[in-house]
Structure formats: C-alpha cells, structure tokens
Amino acid sequence: MTALFEPCILRELTIPNRVWMPPMCQYSAAPEGPQAGAPTDWHFAHYAARATGGTGLIIVEATAVSPQGRISPYDLGLWNDTQVEAFRRITGFLAAHGTVPAVQLAHAGRKASTERPWKGGAPVGPEAHGWDAVAPSPLPFDDRHPAPAELTVDQIKDVVEQFAAAARRALDAGFQVAEIHGAHGYLINEFLSPHSNHRTDAYGGSYENRTRFALEVVDAVREVWPDDKPLFFRVSATDWLEDGGWSADDTVRFATGLRDHGIDLLDVSSGGNASGVRIPTGPGYQVPFAARVKNETALPVAAVGLITDVEQAEKILANGEADAVLLGRELLRNPSWARLAARELGGEVRVPDQYHRSV
C-alpha cells in the first residue's frame, strides 16, 4: 500500500487516506440577515466536488465563533443554529461519499472586518458591514488597518466560551473533526507571538502567559468535543522574523503542551502575523517545520505549502516528514487530485458509482 492511501486512525476515527484539504476561505456567505454566516450552494458545490474526487478529509474554511471573529463580513460562522442546519447538508454529503468532514473554528482578531480579497482586502467600516476589531494589544496589523481594541480579561473569557459553543454546534452540524485556528496572524496567533502581544498581565510577557489563551481555548473545546473524535490545532510555525516573534523552537515546545491538553494533530503552516516579511517560498517550503515537530515530539502532524506533485506528496509521507499532506491551491485546480494520485500509485480511493466508467 502506498503511504498516501494508507488509512489514518486518530482516536476512534479512521480517515480513509492521507490526502486532505486545508481550510481555504471562500468569502461567499451572506454578510447580514438571517442567513449571515451560513453556507450556501457555492459552499456545497465546492466541498462536494473535492469529496467525489476522493479527498480523505476536508477541513471547511475558517468558520467564525462570533460575528466579530470573521475575517470578512462574508465568512462562514457557527454562532447560531441556522448555520448548524445549513452545514448539515454539506457534512451529510461528505460523509456519505467517504470523506471525513472537519471544520476550522476561528477568530480573526486584529485582522477582522476586511473586504473580500478580490475587492482588495482592505479594512471596512459599518457602511460595508464592518465592525471594530479586537486583539491582545492595540497594535494594528499594518498601515492599512486601524488599531484594534485591547481585549479585557473578561472579554478573553467570553471568547474562550465562544469557541466552546461553536464546537458544540460543529458537533451538532455533523462534523467529525474540529480544528482550532491558531495560525496566520489571527487572534490566537496574536496572543502567542511577542510581536503582536505586548500585554503585561497573565496573558502576556512570558511564554507561559502568551500561550495561556490558546490552551484555555483548547481545554474548553476538548471538554465539549467527544473523546472518540480528534481535535486538531493549526499553528504558524514561525513569524519569519529574525527576532521578536514566534519561532520554530516555540512551535516544538508548544506542540508538546498541545498534546498534553488533548490535541491529536498539529496542522503546521507559517507566517501571517507580521506584515512586510519576506517568506522564502518554494515546493514544500513549510514541510521542514512539520517534520521537526514530528521528529522531536510525539504529536502527529500534517504538512502544507506548495505540495502539488503526486511523487512529492508520497515522498513526504514515506520519509516520515508528516502523517498527512494538505493540498490547498492544487485541490482548487484539480478537485479529483486524490483519484488521479491513486491511479498513478496503485492506491485505492472511493469512486462514486456515477463515475464508474472513469476507473
């Protein structure tokens, strides 16, 4: 059996293969009204196509735990029961076609209230469905963003509960895996990094204080998430800053703490918390971060970042650099990447009966 098409068992869940889809925002939900934050026909078609293409696990895009936690007014959310009902159509289809439905729970922090990327991505105000952003410290992300409001300790506790409430709704919506978004310069990442966290209370300063909020969120979600279902955490392995930021060493140390708090897999990305940094991109450029966590801790990892080629993906797993690969842009270009990879490698993947002539 090829490494890509070996089942992955986490807790009591069996994921049929190790070709996974990472969260990729579609910015296609209604910005206001009774359907705000609820998935639409676009979301259904988008995720269903990757499921029929053989993807083993699909992590639905960053789904906000509160209206204020959205990246844009057009993001998905899980802060009410209308959204739960709309998600069931997607999770039911994915599960029926052999794909494990997962969801990323998120709060955008100081990078919230922005326009859709194809509209420029600039911050927006109330006239464009926007709101005031919040963060660990009143530091804007860049020159375009306004300074966010600093969260009080009571507000931090409220956000922790919002993550737990969203996890309960995710379970009710039919998701089998939840992922906590702690990467890309959004709220949890902002607390982790000294670049964006200048607090002097119990949530800032030392490593222990800066990781406190993240671990409180993990504990709150793990408490409501069933013991038989996996919980993932997405991390930016580095801010790509020479000093004053979150580092790969911090990520390795943090991985052990996450494992001890009930995280089953670390989804290893990088960047997004500091504007203007130069990131040396290239095929598999983030894989070494995942490999280091896997080699230095007991926590399973998923690798992401310009993984496009079948042989490349197979080699990452066969060499023990990761336990799964997450294909983002490549799955946007080719929803049936997993089926084509199985044909090339001699692996097995579920094919819809309607597609039997293509086998």
Please give the structure tokens belonging to residue 163.
């993550």
CA distance 317 to 323: 6
Q: How many CA atoms lie within 13 A of 230 on its CB side?
A: 26
Pick from 290, 197, 305, 284: nearest CA to 251 = 290
Per-residue pLDDT of the chain (359 residues; tens, 9 = 90+): 799 999 999 999 999 999 999 999 999 999 999 999 999 999 999 999 999 999 999 999 999 999 999 999 999 999 999 999 999 999 999 999 999 999 999 999 999 999 999 999 999 999 999 999 999 999 999 999 999 999 999 999 999 999 999 999 999 999 999 999 999 999 999 999 999 999 999 999 999 999 999 999 999 999 999 999 999 999 999 999 988 899 999 999 999 999 999 999 999 999 999 999 999 999 999 999 999 999 999 899 999 999 999 999 999 999 999 999 999 999 999 999 999 999 999 888 888 888 775 54
Decide: pTM greater than 0.85.
Answer: yes
CA distance 304 to 284: 7
- CA 311 centroid distance within chain: 25
CA distance 221 to 51: 26
Pick from 119, 94, 22, 4: nearest CA to 329 = 22
CA distance 354 to 3: 27
Q: What is the 3-state secondary structure (H, E, C) of the chain?
A: CCCCCCCEEECCEEECCCEEECCCCCCCCECCCCCECCCCHHHHHHHHHHHHCCCCEEEEEEEECCHHHCCCCCCEECCCHHHHHHHHHHHHHHHHCCCEEEEEEECCHHHCCECCHHHCCCECCHHHCCCCCEECCCCCCCCCCCCCEECCHHHHHHHHHHHHHHHHHHHHCCCCEEEEEECCCCHHHHHHCCCCCCCCCCCCCCHHHHCHHHHHHHHHHHHHCCCCCCEEEEEECCCCCCCCCCCHHHHHHHHHHHHHCCCCEEEEECCCCCCCCCCCCCCCCCHHHHHHHHHHCCCCEEEECCCCCHHHHHHHHHCCCCCEEECCHHHHHCCCHHHHHHHHHCCCCCCCHHHHHHC
Judge whether 197 and 190 are in contact, CB under 8 Å. yes
pLDDT given at position 355? 79
pLDDT given at position 353? 82
pLDDT given at position 357? 59
pLDDT given at position 358? 52
Active site residues: 186
